[in-house]
Homo-oligomer: A and B are copies of this chain.
Amino acid sequence: MNAIAVYDGTDEPVVTEKPRPEPSPGEALVRTLRVGVDGTDHEVISGSHGGSPEGEDHLVMGHEAVGVIEEPNDTPFEVGDVVVPTVRRPPNGANEYFARGEPDMAPNGQYHERGIVGAHGFMAEYFTSPAEFLVEIPPALAEWGFLVEPVSIAEKAIEHAYASRSAFHWEPESALILGNGSLGLLTVATLDKEFDRIYCLGRRERPDPTIDIIESLGATYVNSNETPVPSVPAAHEPMDFVFEATGYAPHAFETIEALAPNGVGALLGVPSDWEFEIDGGRLHREFVLHNKALVGSVNSGYEHFEAAIDSLSRFSDTFLGDLVTGVHGLDDFEAAFADDDTTIKTAVEFSAYEER
């Protein structure tokens, strides 16, 4: 079968021939429909993040997949069920984090991430997976199912942020999403039902398709060239919730200044080392005197995939159509890895979904 892989020491994905996998006991065989591309994939390709499975010279890409059950192989699934795989796998048998259904909380060394580090991904015509790592989704969502994983990332961060405010009465009204990439835009749509006023900050100048999407969702675009993060409270309002999806390290600390009293910031970016100066005294004082919180969040668990399915089912086809700027077949897969101002979210299509 065909797969898309990046070979060690190279910096672009290629189509490669792999044997079709055989499901082991407890595993189902899945025919891949679509696999999304995100910033992590670009980091994997450039070599700044992730790595091939031990003893192999390449990594099959892709961690945002949707497929249909081809062979249930005595798992609870039926042929034709539409499923989304979770990303983390236990490296050496199970460990306590996987046993609890919280692989997203496993520390370094206690997980592989399919398509990212230590385990092949889903960019292949078929993949196998233990049934416990497959989440069934409604067939109506098959087309957009590759968005379940990125939305689940937002769901987890939102859940942890809310938990951090659960010791007191918290009725958030305003949210600021830092970053107008695909995760930022999906988060604007996800938070739509929770917040009265949503802002999304980016570096783009008008006209720009992401700004159009932000405004079509009823949110306010904040141009960071005109309004840096620390100026947001004065220019707009202090924010009850800030969701950082940029990987731009100064934003992690500026978030403290953008928050309203009792607010919380969720950090999701994964920057490289970068030394810079902050007014640490002022930030520390502000953090304490106004009961602020920051939570870091990575990956997602099974329940976040479930929450993401709920959210995805609420998104309008207009929004999804605007967000997904390209779905490319194997003959054209390079286009799915484009990273320019007209590309928002892309996927590689391995096979079309046909309703039974």
- Interface set of A (CB-CB < 8 Å, partner B): 100, 102, 104-105, 107-108, 159-160, 162-169, 247, 249-250, 252-253, 260-262, 267-298, 301
- The CA-CA distance from A280 to B267 in the complex, in Å, is 13
- The CA-CA distance from A280 to B164 in the complex, in Å, is 23
Q: Which of B252, B269, B298 contacts A291 (CB 8 A)?
A: B298
Residue of chain B at shortest CB distance from A286: B296
Most chain B beta carbons < 10 A, residue from A108, A278, A279, A286: A278
Residue of chain B at shortest CB distance from A97: B169
- The CA-CA distance from A293 to B298 in the complex, in Å, is 12
Other CB < 8 Å A-B pairs besides A287-B294, A291-B295, A292-B295, 14 of them? Answer: A160-B291, A162-B167, A163-B164, A163-B166, A253-B280, A270-B285, A273-B285, A275-B279, A275-B281, A276-B280, A290-B298, A291-B298, A292-B296, A293-B296
- The 6 A-B residue pairs with the shortest CB-CB distance, nearest first, are A274-B281, A107-B261, A287-B296, A164-B164, A163-B167, A252-B284
- The CA-CA distance from A284 to B248 in the complex, in Å, is 9
25 contacts between A and B (CB under 8 A): A104-B291, A105-B261, A160-B167, A162-B167, A163-B163, A163-B164, A163-B166, A164-B295, A249-B281, A249-B284, A249-B285, A252-B284, A270-B284, A270-B285, A270-B288, A272-B285, A274-B281, A274-B282, A275-B280, A276-B277, A276-B280, A278-B280, A289-B296, A290-B296, A291-B297
- Set of chain B residues within 8 Å of A107, measured between Cβ atoms: 260-262, 290
Given A166-B166, A278-B280; A289-B252 close (CB under 8 Å): no
- The CA-CA distance from A257 to B34 in the complex, in Å, is 39
Q: Which of B105, B271, B287, B291 contacts A105 (CB 8 A)?
A: B291
- Set of chain B residues within 8 Å of A298, measured between Cβ atoms: 288-291
Given A164-B164, A287-B252; A262-B105 close (CB under 8 Å): yes
Residue of chain B at shortest CB distance from A301: B168
Q: Is the CB of A283 within 8 A of B164?
A: no
- Set of chain B residues within 8 Å of A287, measured between Cβ atoms: 252, 267, 294, 296
Given A267-B284, A267-B287; A108-B167 close (CB under 8 Å): no
Shortest Cβ distance from residue A98 to the other chain B in the assembled complex, whole angstroms: 12
- Set of chain B residues within 8 Å of A293, measured between Cβ atoms: 160, 164, 293-296
Q: Is the CB of B284 within 8 A of A169?
A: no
Q: Is the CB of B280 within 8 A of A252?
A: yes
Shortest Cβ distance from residue A180 to the other chain B in the assembled complex, whole angstroms: 19
Shortest Cβ distance from residue A156 to the other chain B in the assembled complex, whole angstroms: 8
Residue of chain B at shortest CB distance from A268: B288
Residue of chain B at shortest CB distance from A107: B261
- Set of chain B residues within 8 Å of A281, measured between Cβ atoms: 249, 271-275
Q: Is the CB of A278 within 8 A of B279?
A: no
- Set of chain B residues within 8 Å of A105, measured between Cβ atoms: 168-169, 261-262, 291
Shortest Cβ distance from residue A234 to the other chain B in the assembled complex, whole angstroms: 16
Shortest Cβ distance from residue A181 to the other chain B in the assembled complex, whole angstroms: 15
Q: Which of B249, B260, B284, B294 contacts A271 (CB 8 A)?
A: B284
- The CA-CA distance from A165 to B160 in the complex, in Å, is 8
- The CA-CA distance from A301 to B169 in the complex, in Å, is 12
Residue of chain B at shortest CB distance from A294: B294
Residue of chain B at shortest CB distance from A293: B295
